[in-house]
Amino acid sequence: MILSCDIGNSSSSFGLFEENGYDIIKTFRIDTAKISSLQDLKKFLSKNISLKDLKAVSVSSVAPSANPLYKEFFAKAKLETFFISPDAKLNVRICIENSGKIGTDRIANVSCAHFSNRKFKIVVDLGTALTIDIVNKNGDFLGGIIYPGLSALADSLYESTEKLPLIKIAKPKTLIGTNTESAILSGIFNGVLFLIKGFIDNICDFYNICGAENLSVIFTGGQSSLVFDDIDVNAEKILDEHCTLKGIKYIYDINKD
């Protein structure tokens, strides 16, 4: 089996795959800060998988400080380990300035999106950050948009004021809040909804790709299911919460030979 690791700034996700194919067998997640030693990592992984069943590990990391620990752990376990970088063999062409600085999670997202078919794709990844990335039908990764995620917006508002409370992110019951908490929730949640829809509509118009026959919009990330049903776009709409993990596995596959 192959283990995909998506090491993020706030949380890290893991997906277990058969050697051939992209049907995910199991996923599990942990706060990135909770893994600070080899023992932490061993205890966490051993609770979720059998290391002896693994053939290889593929890693996307946007937390460079965590990389030495993962490299050392998998080396001691004698597991082939592949860390994704912009210099790896890819099925997309990165058309972005300073491509060496781009997050490998974003590369994994567009790689996953592009291998399924050759339509124009927009990948909306809603987690700690909201990223909206664009890959055309020829596999050109054209760039994207980065914005704070739902929880980051809530944290920022709470930390920047004296009286506003920290809210728990959920789908609001009404557009107009009837108290401080519900007003904040509506502002953050619906604000992000309108922002995502606005960006997608403008991208559609800019590239003249509106319509399900031309464009697929893929929603992924830990909070994507919260917003998916409430965003109406003139495109094919797909919810794939494990797009990043599949992309990490796919990039490993095309680099292993």
Strand order in the sheet with 129-135: 93-94, 140-148, 129-135, 120-126, 215-220, 236-239
**CB within 8 A of 48, min separation 6: which ones?**
14, 26, 28
Nearest to 120, CA basis, from 140, 141, 135:
135
Given 6, 40, 105, 140, the catalytic residue: 105
> How does DSSP classify residue 123?
E
| Angle 14-19-20 from CA coordinates, rounded to 5° | 115
> What's the pLDDT score for residue 128?
87
pLDDT value at position 256?
85
Q: What is the pLDDT of residue 44?
A: 95
Of the CA atoms within 13 Å of residue 182, those in its CB half-sphere come to 8
Which residue in 158, 173, 152 sits closest to 223, CA to CA?
152
Q: Write down the pLDDT at residue 117.
A: 75
H helical segments located in the chain = 38-48, 67-76, 104-116, 150-159, 180-207, 224-227, 243-255
Is the CA virtual torsion 166, 168, 174, 175 positive or negative? positive
- Identify the three-state secondary structure at position 247: helix
**CB-CB neighbours of 55 under 10 Å:** 12
Q: How far apart (Å, rounded) are the C-alpha atoms in residues 180 and 182?
A: 6
User: Which residues of the chain fall below pLDDT 50?
Assistant: none
Q: Where are the domains of the chain?
A: 2-83, 93-247
Model pLDDT, residue 257? 67
Q: Which residues contact 120 (CB under 8 A, 6 or more apart)?
A: 134, 135, 136, 137, 207, 209, 214, 215, 216
Burial class (CB in 10 A: 0-12, 13-18, 19+), 97: exposed
**Span 93-247: which CATH code?**
3.30.420.40
- Cβ–Cβ under 8 Å, residues 248 and 5: yes
> What element of type H or E holds 215?
strand 215-220
Element (DSSP H or E) covering residue 78: none
Is 31 tagged catalytic?
Answer: no
90, 111 Cβ separation under 8 angstroms:
yes
pLDDT digits 0-9 by tens, 183-238: 999 999 999 999 999 999 999 999 999 999 999 999 999 899 999 999 999 999 99
| Identical fold, 2-83 and 93-247 | yes
Q: Regarding the domain delimited by 2-83, which CATH topology (the fold level of the hierarchy) does it fall under?
A: Nucleotidyltransferase; domain 5 (3.30.420)
Q: At what angle do helices 67-76 and 38-48 cross, to 10 degrees?
A: 60
Question: What pLDDT is recorded for position 99?
Answer: 86
